[in-house]
Structure 1
């Protein structure tokens, strides 16, 4: 990478545009960048870094600070333009940071966003634009350079103070720097991954051990008394012998359970024998008691039969006579039936006689039938009159319907006339309603377009007010942080100055007789310096420095916070003022945003717009209903006109219909007068004839029925007398008294059958020999036998329960033991995997006994890189020190710390190896310079061999004597062998004489300026 040209405008201390021609400066290979303190030497390097990466090195661009020059005029834009060649391509990158500018409309300032441009030079077509995206430009340049901003600042800008601290730092600090430069995060990720795998495997093993312990506890519970005889051995998760111990103990528990199962089986067998003997004894006593009771019951039943014998004889005699009377029963039933029929016929005749006229009360059946036939003939002659009467009624109904229709049509014509009279006013009202709804819809759309931006502005105003309060709080915190940082810085500088005054006493404290002094080289120390009053040691200074750095970090955080708050405040203020006159929100001095429209004003505006929009929306929502109402009214208008015309036509037709009905009804009425006679209607006259016919028919039938019933009663009397004589009864009445009902027959027969069955059963039971023999034996005692049997049954149940529990215990122990064996078998591979992963994790983390130096994997990789850096730095350090010093990497442990990142210097004059912290000030400078150059070479190779043709070296040359300075310059001059150009940043006056090509930064009232000086003379 080679720099060609740099143009700086309104950047840092430079108020106007300044150009740096690196091609002219690099022509000599070595050039000097000098100027008074605060003129802007470092700002030139900041501009180079800003052009490449869009940010300045380190903490020089804290949030809340601006890159814009305070000397720049108002209309001049801050800009950095850098032209360079990298990766064989000539590029030009232009960057403008975020900066305030005047509003195009209205008054005040607004913040302009940061911008970037990238162009490439083509020999055939000149400059052509590539991109204006910050992200794309950053990715393009980072890919070509091959280094991050931190690596570039460490390798190209070579900050000497950082490398001096690197020489004196401990292994941890060196590891952080080298880790950033060489990106060893993947090795740290390997350590973390292995540690994570180890924790996961350990958790799995512990979980498996806990499962085994839980199974062992369940085995102890299942073993019962056997488990108490052989208690579970103490076991904790993670112990190697846990699985074997649990399996052995489970085997012992199973053996004890099986022994108890054998004992329980013997106890059950004995209890079963005792229970069978008790059951047989109980059954014998129960049988003896049953037979004795049976014999006593039989004797009682025999005595009862003998006492009931007279009653049984009476029942048999009554049943015999009743069976004879059953022969007369059919004749008796026939006589009773004939008597009932005659009485019913007589009652019916008397009833019918009472409904006939007096002259027909004694008439016979033939006379009554003749009169019925005469009335039936007269009824048949009324059929035509009935049809005429029905037609007359229909004519009345038709005339009523015609009148009803006439009245309805008159009402329709009248109602339609009234409705049509107001039709024009109704139509105009509906049309106006449709037009109002359409206008409301247009108004609602307009209000909706204004309501959404107003709501966004209201929300932005609320955020603006909240952020304004937060900005004031952040400003107070920033002021406090700056005061604290300034006080801590002054305190540290004061302690450092006091320590430097007494540094001789501090060096003298480390002198040993016979050992050469690190300052003068003498082995004798006749008068070593002693600390004075108020001496400050190194620890105190470092503590003050740490406090200073903490306060600086707090200040930086406060600046970042206030910058973020102010940026969000500016955005919220701009959004709140959007759409107002002067759309850009004015910015006050100090970055605070001036107040725009208040929240109350915007809230009132939103409420007013919302209410208007709601009203318009409600009116617009009635558009469809208004159109439907207008269409419905027009349809009703057409329907009413059509109905009115039809009603008029129907009225004309009804006049002729009325006349025809009147003529037809007059003709019918003349015939009906003759047919009705004395009745009101023909139907009444017909019903009257039908009633007379019914009475005559009923009376004739009643006379004939009575005569038939009298004849059947006489025949039944003759048959009953004959049946009673044949059955052996003197009179029919005696036979009737002897008769029994079916229920009486069944009851007597059942009583006789029961006596016979009971006599047979008693005879059979009296003949039983075993019952007779049992009655002769002593009385049975089944209760005692039952008690003995219950006792044996209870003992058998207890023995059976004990046996079932023993079997269940053995089964459960076998099942749990199998599970424990499976868990142990499954845990084996997990335990082996855990041991392997734990061994690897311990090795990479430096905690394993196999890692003798306790070196982590990342430290091991960084140690290899440090060894390369030391080798590359030694090539230049030997030349700068006239062959005296060599940098070597050391992986030895010191002070109980881990090894890996030690850095020592070998002094060829003494042949001893010592820590780099013992170098003097000048030796530290050229050693750190050699280390920086060596690190640049290694990082360049690590980045893919990107060629670095331009380097910058910061302050530190003032600590060198004349001879050492010549040697250092020779080394730097040798860099030109690789066609490199080196820029030295220094105040040393002697360098101005030794280096003819110079870039001078001059301080002026209106901003700094740069001046080029070549070997021939001075040029602006």
Structure 2
């Protein structure tokens, strides 16, 4: 990686936009120098930040790099153009910071707004790399092949970083080398071996668990000869597979033998069950005959009792039937005569119905006439009341309508006054604004006057000083023996001396220009003040004129707002009253029309009333005539209504029919009872015949005892169920054991193959990952990296012995001296060439440590460049450290760096050492000012 151009904007100590073109120092060694705190290290920070979103020292993050000297509207960013592998990349990155907003807020001022962090990467083909901050950071690491920590240790050694490079642990160096030399392939191999070993071990464990599960699931007979042996196998799982399978085979043989025994027992049980069932059936048939004999005796006795009861009932019912027939012969003739008489009266009720309907019609007509008359009278009264109210309302409406002209005039005056007050309020607002502008313009004019006075005094002082210094200038040109151009004297015993801080003519001219500029500004500010004064006076005069017209001589601007509120309230009230009066005027016209309509309705109602009175009299006369005719008809009839006559006829007919039905029912019941007696006599004879037959069949026999046979049958049934249950359980256990035998045979076969694979892979895993017992913890990747490390140390020592005068050299710690705890293998020691002893690298002094770290960085750069890897670092930056060296060591170090740089590499050094400034031809000067730092190249010929 080689930088081409670096642009910093409002970054660190740089307030504006600073550009460093590294084309002026594309190869070789150059010096970065400047005042303390000017921002030399910030250049390294900017490069590291642009690439990795971190600073070179790691002590400040990007959010802290916003320049305190920058104006709020200046953006903060770093843009780096660099070459890598012959291709040019460009990256621009900015942190989170606050800047001035581009738009004003509601108050008309600019506020600070947050600018979020962002990064953009342009690829060699000019296209923008797609992705967010995290993706671009990962892409940079992919391009360069190293992360921020590795970059600061091998390409950009910041203040204090050379010690970290020298004192880095094996773990840290391992991470650096894995990226630089692409040794992750060995780590991947280690990881694959570890994962494969774990996987095989897990498969062995799974196999063991499956075997244990199958063994635990095996069952055996309670009386098994091999049960105890199998229990011992379950407790000791290390039993040989052969013994386990043989024992399991014995258990299966026992189960087969027991199955045969159960089949024989089931056959014997079935035979005994069939014999017992036959005996039970014969016993049940005999007991059933005895039960039939008992039932027949009970039925014969019951039937004899029933026949006796039926004979008694027949005698009683015959007697009651004869008595009922005698009563019926006396009632039926009278009832028939009464029914015939009522039927002859039915035609006379037709005239009664007509007379009743005539009376009802007359009543309805009379009632309708009365209701119509009442409604007409009510409506007439209502119309009279409405006319009275209308007369009263009309008077009130006429009174309200008479006020409309006066109210309209009041509204007109208040509207004009409100408009004038609003105009005065606007004028007062302008007076206040112009007053503020006038005050501001006066202050600006006073400030401009003060500045002009200061510039005038400065010019006058410098001019006077310049004139005074002319004497000293002339005195410097005086030659002994030659006349003075002022006084003509040829001797000059006491010459005027030139002040060490003499004012130049250029300074006088600049002071004069400053005074003229201040005078121009003063005139502008005075014109602005005069214009603001005129604007204020114009608006103030208008306000006073209108105020005097409205409020009189006592007018004050504060009176405007209360007057506006009062006027607005009065205007709203007057407008509301006027609007209501106009509505009342409309109502008055409507009321007049309503009165005319009511008068017409009153006349019509009066005419209707007279007609209804006449109609009501006629209806009353018709009703009285109909009523008298109805009374004459009702006196001749036994019932007032024909419906009552019909009810009596219906009731008499039902009574006659009921008597006839009762007679028929009694006769039928008597016949049914006589039939039942005959049937009972036949059934009794049949039962007595069957009883004699049963007695002949059971002669000489006794009832059988079924309980003992049933108990024995239940016992046989229980034994059969027990055998069936045992058979099913035995079959399930045997099937499970057979499956377990097959599974165990398969699992043991798999275990043999897994054991062979695991032993091989486990040994490879322990060897590759440095976990062999009684051996040094040195993994495969570290073993490979030690080769690179030794090569780096060799390259470093090639320069180190030159720089330290053959005092000491670096050495990779031998395997025998490595510890057994933690990661090791890339540890660094110092071999003292003078004492021929090895010591820890941390025993080096500050200067020695710097030389050693510098040599390590240079050696690493050489190895990286010469290795067929993908990391190419053609640039190295060194921040301080040379101050700890004596002159001889410093000269040797610079010579080595010049040799390293050659024509292809770029080496940048930050240093305050004066001698380095004299030694370096190319220098990047960082200058500190009150407005931030500036940077420029300076080359000496």
Q: TM-score, normalised by structure 1?
A: 0.51
- Structure 1 CA distance for aligned equivalents of residues 617 and 897 of structure 2: 151
Match for residue 373 of structure 2? 403
Alpha-carbon contact 2:813-2:829 (below 8 Å) kept: no
**Change beyond 3 A, Cα 1:926–1:397:** same
Match of 2:363 in 1: 393
Does the alignment pair 1:951 with 2:876? yes
Does the CA contact (< 8 Å) of 2:215 and 2:234 recur in 1? no
Deviations 1:842-861 (CA, angstroms, capped at 9, x unpaired): 8567577998998999x645
Find the partner of 1:254 among 231, 252, 255.
252
* Pair 1:658–1:929, CA change in 2 (3 A): same
Preserved contact between residue 372 and residue 693 of structure 1 (Cα < 8 Å): no
Q: How does 1:749-828 map to 2 (within 5 A)?
A: 749-750=678-679, 752-765=681-694, 767-768=696-697, 771-772=698-699, 774=700, 782-783=704-705, 786-787=707-708, 790-791=711-712, 793-794=714-715, 797-798=718-719, 800-815=721-736, 817-818=738-739, 821=742
Report if the CA contact (8 A) 2:18-2:934 is conserved: no
Equivalent residue for 1:156?
155
Q: 1:344 maps to which residue?
A: 332
Residues 190-241 of structure 1 show CA distances to partners (whole Å, capped at 9, x for unaligned) of 8778867876786677567546544543433x7555484553454599x798
Report if aligned partners of 2:810, 2:830 keep a CA contact under 8 Å in 1: yes
Q: Within 5 Å, which residues of 2 pair with 1:195-234?
A: 206=205, 210=209, 213-220=212-219, 224-226=222-224, 228-234=227-233
- CA gap of 1:272–1:641, structure 2 versus 1, over 3 A, is farther
**Could you say if the C-alpha distance between residues 929 and 235 of structure 1 is closer, same or farther in structure 2, counting changes exceeding 3 Å?**
farther
- d(CA) in 1 for partners of 2:596, 2:202: 100
- Residue 928 (structure 1) aligned with residue 853 (structure 2): yes
> Contact (CA 8 Å) 1:904, 1:914: kept in 2 or not?
no
Maintained 8 Å contact 1:171/1:901:
yes
| Aligned: 1:983 with 2:908 | yes
Supply the distance in 2 between the matched residues of 1:274 and 1:210 (Cα, whole angstroms): 50
Work out whether residues 412 and 644 of structure 1, in 8 Å CA contact, stay in contact via their aligned partners in 2: no
Q: Label 1:662 to 1:118 Cα distance change in 2 as closer, same or farther (>3 A).
A: closer
Q: 1:257 to 1:66 in 2, by over 3 A?
A: same
Contact 1:845 1:856 in 2 (8 A): no
Residues 1:82 and 1:314: Cα distance change in structure 2 (over 3 Å): closer
User: Which residue of structure 1 lines up, in the alignment, with residue 58 of structure 2?
Assistant: 59
Matches within 5 A, 1:237-248: none
Corresponding residue number in structure 2 for 1:902: 826
Distance 1:212 1:11 in 2: 70
CA contact (8 A) 1:872 1:935 kept: yes
1:265 to 260, 263, 266: 263
Match of 2:439 in 1: none
How does 1:808-887 map onto structure 2 within 5 Å? 808-815=729-736, 817-818=738-739, 821=742, 843=764, 860-861=780-781, 864=784, 867-868=787-788, 870-871=790-791, 874-875=794-795, 877-878=797-798, 881=801
- Rounded to whole Å, the distance in 2 between the matches of 1:35 and 1:991 is 12
CA distance in 1, matches of 2:754, 2:598: 106
Q: What's the offset of the Cα at 1:950?
A: 4.3
What SS class does the counterpart of residue 231 from structure 1 fall into?
A: helix
Aligned residues: 707
Deviation, 1:873, is 6.2
Q: 1:850 to 1:828 in 2, by over 3 A?
A: farther
Counterpart for residue 173 of structure 2:
174
The whole-number CA distance in structure 2 between the counterparts of 1:37 and 1:285 is: 130
Shift in CA distance, 389/888, structure 1 to aligned 2, threshold 3 Å = same
Distance 1:887 1:835, change over 3 A: farther
User: Would the aligned equivalents of 2:791 and 2:863 in 1 still touch at CA under 8 Å?
Assistant: no
Distance 1:417 1:189 in 2: 114
- Residues 265 and 803 in structure 1, CA contact (< 8 A), matched pair in contact too: no
* 8 Å contact kept, 1:406–1:651: no
- Offset, 1:390: 4.3
SS state of the match for residue 219, structure 1? coil
User: Taking structure 1 as reference, are residues 419 and 820 closer, same or farther at Cα in structure 2, changes over 3 Å only?
Assistant: farther
Displacement after TM superposition at 1:982 (Å): 1.6
User: In 1, distance between residues paired with 2:121 and 2:727?
Assistant: 93
The CA deviation string for residues 786-834 of structure 1, in whole angstroms up to 9 with x for no partner, is 5376347425523540342133222244146437846986998899789
Output aligned runs, 1:298-317, within 5 Å: none
Shift of 1:413: 5.7
Q: Is the 8 A contact 2:211 2:747 kept in 1?
A: no
The answer for the alignment partner of 2:447 in structure 1 is none
Structure 1 pair 218/672, CA: closer, same or farther in 2 (3 Å)?
same
CA contact (8 A) 2:377 2:609 kept: no
Q: Residues 965, 240 of structure 1: CA spacing in aligned structure 2 closer, same or farther, 3 A cutoff?
A: farther
Give distance in 2, aligned partners of 1:856 and 1:900.
Answer: 7
Matches of 2:309 and 2:117 in 1, distance apart?
Answer: 139
> Any idea what the Cα deviations from partners look like across 1:729-761, whole Å, max 9, x if unmatched?
xxxxxxxxxx99446534653564355334433
CA separation of 1:849/1:930 partners in 2, compared to 1, >3 Å: closer, same or farther? closer
How far has the Cα of 1:952 moved from its partner? 1.5
Using the alignment, how far apart are the partners of 1:981 and 1:143 within structure 2?
22
Give the conservation status (yes or no) of the 8 Å contact 2:10–2:77. Answer: yes
- Shift in CA distance, 422/376, structure 1 to aligned 2, threshold 3 Å: same
Distance 1:842 1:644 in 2: 124
Deviations 1:321-368 (A, max 9, x none): x99xx9xx99x999975872444324776x79xxxxxxxxxxxx9xx9
The answer for unaligned runs of 5 or more in structure 2 is: 123-127, 398-587, 657-667
Q: Any unmatched runs of 5+ in structure 1?
A: 122-128, 353-364, 426-636, 710-738
Whether the aligned pair in 2 keeps the contact of 1:268 and 1:796 (CA below 8 Å) is no
Matches within 5 A, 1:957-972: 957=882, 968-972=893-897
Deviations, residues 540-590 of structure 1 (Å, cap 9, x unaligned): xxxxxxxxxxxxxxxxxxxxxxxxxxxxxxxxxxxxxxxxxxxxxxxxxxx
Aligned to 1:2: 3
SS at match of 2:898: helix
1:290 deviation in Å? 8.0
Partner of 1:29: 28
| CA distance, structure 2, for counterparts of residue 845 and residue 342 of structure 1 | 135
Contact 2:273–2:713 at 8 Å: present in 1 too?
Answer: yes
1:896 is paired with a residue whose SS is: coil
- For residues 468-479 of structure 1, the aligned pairs below 5 Å read none
Q: Pick which of 663-672 and 385-394 moved more.
A: 663-672
Q: CA deviation at 1:157?
A: 1.5
Distance 2:212 2:246 in 1: 13
Within-5 A mapping of 1:666-681? 680-681=627-628
Q: 2: distance between equivalents of 1:926 and 1:891?
A: 23
Whole-Å Cα distance in 1 between the matches of residues 309 and 922 of structure 2?
A: 165
